[in-house]
Amino acid sequence: MSVSESFRPEVRAIADQIRPVLARMEEARMTAIRKRKQSWILAGILAVITLVAVMVINASGGNHEGLMYAVGYGGAIITLLVAVMMGSGAKNRYLAMVKEEVFTAAVSRAVPGIDYKPFSMIPRKVFEHGGLFDSRIDKYFGEDCFAGKHGATNLTFSELLVQRVETRSSPKGGVRTQTITVFKGIYLVADFHKEFACRVEIMPDVAEATFGWLGRKMQGISGNLVRLESPEFEKVFKVTSDDAVGARYLLTPEMQERFLALRGEWSKDIRAVLMDSSLHLAIPNSKEWFEPRMDVPADDLPTLHGFLVQLMLILKITETLDLDTRIWTKE
């Protein structure tokens, strides 16, 4: 049975426990909908006033072309600001309230050891310390941070959007600016189940996947490349480390199989680093997770179910990698 199917009865129970919160949020949703409608009506009135003003100026004769354009453009800008800012503001405030009250309350009941902070993120210095992406970082955004203890494992994860800005001269002169996504998805830092001092990087094996045996030969040029036992693992992952013996101690045949399972569950582009007795894991994800909706009632069970299932899928990583099994000196 999948996580989604097995979790439905628990979601219903959680919804019953937070029924007063859901009722209050439904009132807030209806208020937000009314405010959005009011903003659209006001925007419509402003648009009509702007159009009439332009027509009057045009009919008055004389050289008023500059005034006509100023009124037209100015009115259009004000109308757009009213429609977008007032309408979006009401929607965004409601969605923020759902996260802060409904989702937070649901997490505290579904996973008591986990703390949810919807508008926090993995700190930039933690992401940079992981060193999983060899790129300059110019923009760093994030939200939906979960932190705490699940089973025997301490972990923190959040959604991140990391970008760099490239500026290039165009052939016709001038400058062209392009924003490039370095990483978008879930970034997780978890307590590993063994104590260790080395650094082990587990990256997608682009060379071997692209060039086959030639790519494998090219990898051999790297002085810190670590070869492991599993042919399946070797085909899709490239492992480098400052301590080959330590890397093999951590990436046992069983752990290699677990990383393959994790790749199958999530993405062929996952990458990880083992360092400071911890795991840093980057899971690319182009979709927006942990998001409420305004077009359904606040007590909509599928929305709450979807949020909690996404949370449980990430927490399941501790099971996939067997992080709760403490090894020897790891408490």
pLDDT single digits (tens) 17-67: 999 999 999 999 998 888 877 776 666 776 667 666 666 666 666 566 666
The one-character DSSP state at 227 is -
pLDDT of residue 278: 96
Mean pLDDT of 105-130: 96
pLDDT of residue 135: 92
Beta-bridge mates of residue 116: 146
Instruction: Note whether 99 and 292 are within 8 A (CB).
Output: yes
Which of 102, 119, 104, 116 lies closest to 298, judged by CA?
A: 102
Instruction: Note whether 282 and 185 are within 8 A (CB).
Output: yes
Q: Please list, in sequence order, all residues whose beta carbon lies within 8 angstroms of the beta carbon of residue 153, skipping any fewer than 6 positions away.
A: 190, 191, 193, 318, 323, 324
What are the helix (H) ranges across 150-293? 206-211, 213-219, 231-236, 244-250, 253-265
Mean pLDDT over all residues of the chain? 85
Q: Name the CA dihedral angle for 65, 67, 68, 72, rounded to a multiple of 10 degrees.
A: 140
Q: Does the structure show a pLDDT above 80 at 220?
A: no
Mean pLDDT of 80-95: 72
**pLDDT tens digit sequence for 305-325:** 999 999 999 999 999 999 998
pLDDT of residue 1: 44
pLDDT of residue 91: 85
pTM of the predicted structure, to 2 decimals: 0.83
Task: Give Cα 224 distance to the centre of its chain.
Answer: 31
Phi-psi region of 48 (alpha: psi -120 to 50; beta: other; left: phi over 0): alpha
Terminal Cα distance for the chain, rounded: 32
Q: Does the structure show a pLDDT above 70 at 89?
A: yes
State the number of CA atoms in the 13 A half-sphere of 51 facing the CB: 6
Mean pLDDT of 100-126: 96
pLDDT of residue 25: 93
Q: Does the structure show a pLDDT above 90 at 236?
A: yes
pLDDT band with cut points at 50, 70 and 90 for residue 211: very low
Mean pLDDT of 97-108: 95
How big is the CA angle at 130 (ends 125 and 133), to the nearest 5 degrees?
Answer: 100
| Separation CA 250–CA 247 (nearest Å) | 5
Instruction: Note whether 117 and 108 are within 8 A (CB).
Output: no
Q: Does the structure show a pLDDT above 70 at 222?
A: no
pLDDT of residue 35: 80
pLDDT of residue 32: 87
